[in-house]
Homo-oligomer: A and B are copies of this chain.
Amino acid sequence: MEPVCTVVGHVRKSETGDTWIEIADKFWEAALQIERFSHIIVLWWITGRDNPESRANLSDYPPQENAELSGVFASRSPARPTPIGHSIVAITKVDTEGHRIHIDQIDAHDETPVVDIKPYMPSSDKVDDARVPSWFKDNVPRYTS
């Protein structure tokens, strides 16, 4: 049995800079209580890399300076066997009538399929003092001071 994802909505970006996830009407019930969380984990499909060549890519050089050749399990390369994107984002507004979850930003294009949303829970998702290789140490932090 193949692991086949269900598309539950799409990333939308307006020309004025608004960003939201438009949940398909039939899945809106799944967003009940989501406004009680400040942040969510969005799993999305990297459609632009869902081709045999990109899915056969196993290692490449991360774009950071001085990065060493890295396997795709040790990088966020979009070209990987399962082209699934993972973004932690902040909820800015929940539009119950429009079935939209407005968010602050996401590294995904307009119309990108979203396959799952999970609430961000510090108890399981936050790691203090995680170690990363030197080439990722200067990445600009998004939600930490």
Contacts and interface: CB of A to CB of B under 8 A. Distances in A.
A106 B143 CA distance: 25
Number of copies: 2
Contacts of A125: 88, 125, 127
A123 B140 contact: yes
Nearest to A134: B36
A129 B70 CA distance: 32
Size band of the interface chain A makes with B? 35 or more
Interface string A25-39: 001011111101111
Contacts of A131: 36-39
What are the 3 A-B residue pairs with the smallest beta carbon separation, nearest first? A32-B71, A123-B139, A38-B131
Interface of A: 1-8, 23, 27, 29-34, 36-41, 43, 45, 47, 50, 55, 58-59, 68-76, 80-82, 84, 86-88, 113, 115-133, 136, 139-145
